[in-house]
Amino acid sequence: MSRPTARKAAPKGEYIETDSGNKVSRRSAITGTANITLGGRTVIMADVVLRGDLHSTRPVPSSSGKEVTPTSISIGRCTVISTGSVIKPPCRTSKGMPHYYPVKIGDNVFVGPNCAISAITIASHVHIGANVTIHPFAIIKENVKILPNSVIPANMVIAPGSVVGGQPARVVGEVGEGWGVSGGGAGGGLGVGGGGEEKWVEGGDLRELVRSIK
Amino acid sequence: MAQPFPYTYYACDCFDSTTTTASKRASQVLAAAAEEDERDFDPRSPRSNYSLFPLEHLLYCEDCQQIRCPRCVIEETLNWYCPSCLFEVPSSVVKSDGNRCTRNCFNCPVCTAPMTTNSLDTSGDNGPPYILACPYCHWSTVEIGIEFEKSTGISSQLARVANGGKHIPTQKERDKERERKKELEERRREGRAVMSPSEESPTTDTEREEVAPSHDELFANLGAFYKSQMEAQTPSNPFSSHDINYSSPSAYSRIVNLYSSTTSKKNKRNKHTPFREAGSALEGLTIHDSAADAAAIERIKREGWGSTLSPSTKHAQINPNLRFDNELRPLATLLCTKRSKRCRSCRHILSKPETKVTSTRYKIKLLALNHIPRLSIRALPLNINPAQQQPLAPPARPESAFNYNGLKSGIPTHFLLHLSNPLFDPIRVTLATPSTTPGKVQSRITILCPQFDVGANTDVWDDALASTLSPINRTSLINDAGQIEAGKIWDRGRNWTSVVVEVVPGFLKPVAFPVLAEDGKGGGEAEGDDGGLDEDEDVLEIPVFVRIEFEADVVAEERGLGVSVGGGDAKKGEGGAREKREVAFWTVVGAGRIAPL
């Protein structure tokens, strides 16, 4: 059970909350906001860098003929991006021109502090430890746990339910059948108030964690 | 997988039950079992390595009403798939081609990262030739002199080309070549009319390419040789006096012959030629060649150790006899499996994932999480100031600053043991722990409230609507001396209760502290075996015995509805039959690491 990332005793109003419940730190560095979508109840912590300005330069075919803003980063619901992490869309050079591809991150993904992420896809219920580097075009499937300090090499596909770690990362195990099942059993809202257990588990529903971040 | 502190492992007692019954007589078993019950669980015993699991890895057999760990389940493979391309591989292909991906998935032989197919074409339109390259360590097949003409079907292309770009004959070509060589040899032998294997010298014809045969080639030769031997061994007359032994391959092929070949009767039954061993390279014999060794030594002299392979790299290669880095081959990705799990004793299915590779859902999944209370430990904030304690706000929890890796020896530290109940019945819990932790570093442990009740895991709204639980006045828990009073629970909620555990971390070095001398308990033994600390001896792991009692609905269980599923029924009390249940198990709680003084 890893602890939540170091939550600094923030002054009031550390987070800007949007209508859909996204919490974005005032101290995060986000560029190209038009190209970023957040699914709702997603937390972007302090010192997170989202490079939304690095979007695809290819013309997007649109039915209405209108100019469509290309998406460069899309993040699902109840996902937590911890302090100091960087999300940068992967880039491929073809014919001397760099082309950026959009990053897609699913629901209930926990990204630990100080990660550098250039993956093309991160599916839902993925737990990424601290100081993880994900090289361009990696694909991470559902229910994957990435151990802290791992380096995921470029183009690597991580099968659902794997535990990976190391530099370069390799599959070191499988998550148990109980991955992401919160401890209280069905509908397991655990203890409320002081002394209660952490109300979220790795790979599980992060709604409680999101709620507790203020 | 090492987990960060604090953690909880659950002990599955499956290893105990098997070993005692296997080796001892019945009377002894009983005695041993009684002894076993008396003994505390030792998390440092080498055997407990195999019985401790995190709760989410454990399953629960509802028929046996027991925890099932990865060691006491039977696994059945549902399908094979490549973890890299996520394609399912049929079992027939696994049988014929082995457990490796036959598509384009390769791992770097040096660093194990997945390799990519790159074009060496500089004109910019990604034409041939192609290579496999590792994006992580930049090793590529250029280093072993292999290039491909197409960017797909890499593994079949790779199978046909040796390092350096030479063509590898296929199995068929190899067989034909072997036959040709054999015939040649035969003819030569006849020509000489005498068998003189000692003066056999390679003639000009066979010298066409007299390179040492490769590992694969030798293996194929050996396989073919034994096959021919076996055939020769098979008597042409199936109705011979021998007993037919169905397990031996020769007898089997004899029976098959019985139906298939009528012509074989014609060849004379030559009386049992003895089964001989391979006698030449054509038959798969490798003779140790000292010249090769000398060449290898010469090469190491010339190029240094850098050109040799590390043991792990060597081990990963398919050919075990490689020495140098120019002999490396890209490794086809190993396949993974999806498996269902059954209880070892009653054979009921405990978990069965959906067969589709990309699906992460389960058809059946009986988790221990839904049947066994979850135990967790965390440090209690040190500032036991009643005024501050009361409105303990969750976001600014002071304990997040607690250093679990630096427990201070000899200073009483309080931990909070939190137990949450997944069952739909209220449970009565009894906790027990040895007074000192096993191992060289002896820490004293006291559970301040070893017996308590935990509420049922009812609907979340019940808690909010019916506020039957009286809020615990925590000021009453702390007496005038600022100590936490024993015998009272710390806090509780709908389906959880937490109690305080007092731990006095032991001393890493048995120094003659006055404290220890007075203590009398911790000091004596530690000085006895002063052999220095082993690895992780400074980790404070507390064995906790948990026993829970509850009344459960009998009917709901017998109808096959799990407690988790039949919760609603259980509350209605269909049939009204209730039975008393008792579950007991050991857990090990990792509270932290004791800092050196």
Tell me how close the Cα of A137 comes to any Cα of chain B, in angstroms: 11
Judged by CB atoms within 8 Å, which residues 129-188 of A form the interface with B?
135, 141-143, 147, 151, 153-163, 168, 170-173, 175-179, 181, 183-188
φ and ψ at residue B418, rounded to 5 degrees: -115, 125
Residue A214: closest CA among A48, A67, A70, A9:
A9
3-state secondary structure of A134: strand
Which fold does the domain A15-58+69-176+202-212 belong to in CATH? UDP N-Acetylglucosamine Acyltransferase; domain 1 (2.160.10)
Residue B362: closest CA among B354, B374, B370:
B354
Residue B10: closest CA among B403, B588, B576:
B588
Dig out the tokens for B480 from the structure. 């005038």
pLDDT digits (tens, 9 = 90+) for A44-92: 999 999 999 888 776 656 566 666 778 899 999 999 999 999 999 999 8
Total number of residues shown for chain A: 214
φ and ψ at residue B371, rounded to 5 degrees: -130, -20
Q: Residue A163's pLDDT is what?
A: 93
Report the residue of chain A nearest B420, measured CA to CA: A184
Judged by CB atoms within 8 Å, which residues 459-498 of B form the interface with A?
459-460, 490-491, 493-496, 498
Determine, for residues B83 and A142 on separate chains, whether the beta-carbon distance falls below 8 Å: no
Q: What is the Cα–Cα distance from A106 to A39, expressed in whole angstroms?
A: 9
Q: What is the Cα–Cα distance from B472 to A190, expressed in whole angstroms?
A: 17
Q: Residue B420's pLDDT is what?
A: 86
Tell me how close the Cα of B111 comes to any Cα of chain A, in angstroms: 7
- Give the one of A147, A178, A188 whose C-beta lies nearest to B56's C-beta: A178
DSSP code at position B312? H
A70: Cβ contacts below 8 Å, ≥ 6 apart = A35, A55, A56, A60, A102
Determine, for residues B392 and A162 on separate chains, whether the beta-carbon distance falls below 8 Å: no
CA-angle at A151, arms to A145 and A155, nearest 5°: 90
On whether any CB of chain B is under 8 Å from the CB of A98, the answer is no
What letter represents residue B169's amino acid? P
B235: Cβ contacts below 8 Å, ≥ 6 apart = B242, B254, B269
Q: Strands A145-146 and A162-165, how do they pair?
A: parallel
pLDDT digits (tens, 9 = 90+) for B195-251: 454 444 444 444 444 556 777 778 888 888 888 887 776 655 555 555 555 556 666
Query: Residue B188's CB: how many other CB atoms inside 10 A?
Result: 13
DSSP string covering B43-70: TTSGGGGGTEE-GGG-EEETTTTEEE-T
For residue A168, say if its preceding peptide bond is cis, omega within 30 degrees of 0: yes
Residue B375: closest CA among B10, B60, B44:
B10
Tell me how close the Cα of B584 comes to any Cα of chain A, in angstroms: 18
Q: Which domains does chain B have, with CATH numbers?
A: 1-21+35-57+373-383+402-510+537-554+577-596 (2.60.40.10), 59-99+335-366 (no CATH), 106-170+295-332 (no CATH)
Q: How confident is the model at residue A179 (pLDDT cuts 50, 70, 90)?
A: confident
Q: Residue B382's pLDDT is what?
A: 58
Q: What is the Cα–Cα distance from B449 to B289, expressed in whole angstroms?
A: 74
Position with higher pLDDT, B23 vs A130: A130
- Quick check: B288 pLDDT over 50? yes
In whole angstroms, how large is the CA radius of gyration of chain A? 17
Q: Residue B572's pLDDT is what?
A: 45
- Quick check: B294 pLDDT over 60? yes
- Quick check: B376 pLDDT over 90? no
**Model confidence pTM above 0.90:** no
Determine, for residues B1 and A95 on separate chains, whether the beta-carbon distance falls below 8 Å: no
pLDDT digits (tens, 9 = 90+) for B177-190: 778 887 887 788 77
Cβ contacts of A171 on chain B, cutoff 8 Å: 83, 336
Cβ contacts of B113 on chain A, cutoff 8 Å: 153, 156, 168
Q: What is the mean pLDDT of residues A127-148?
A: 94
Determine, for residues A160 and B59 on separate chains, whether the beta-carbon distance falls below 8 Å: no
Judged by CB atoms within 8 Å, which residues 376-435 of B form the interface with A?
376, 378, 389, 392-396, 400, 416, 418, 420-423
Q: What is the Cα–Cα distance from A171 to A169, expressed in whole angstroms?
A: 7
Domains of chain A: which residue ranges?
15-58+69-176+202-212
Dig out the tokens for B14 from the structure. 């499956």
Q: What percent of chain B has pLDDT over 90?
A: 12
A160: Cβ contacts below 8 Å, ≥ 6 apart = A123, A141, A142, A143, A144, B358, B360
Q: Residue B31's pLDDT is what?
A: 55
Determine, for residues A212 and B395 on separate chains, whether the beta-carbon distance falls below 8 Å: yes
Token look-up 């609507």 returns B465
- Give the one of B81, B341, B369 whose C-beta lies nearest to A181's C-beta: B369
Q: Residue A165's pLDDT is what?
A: 94
Size of interface A-B (CB pairs under 8 A): 169
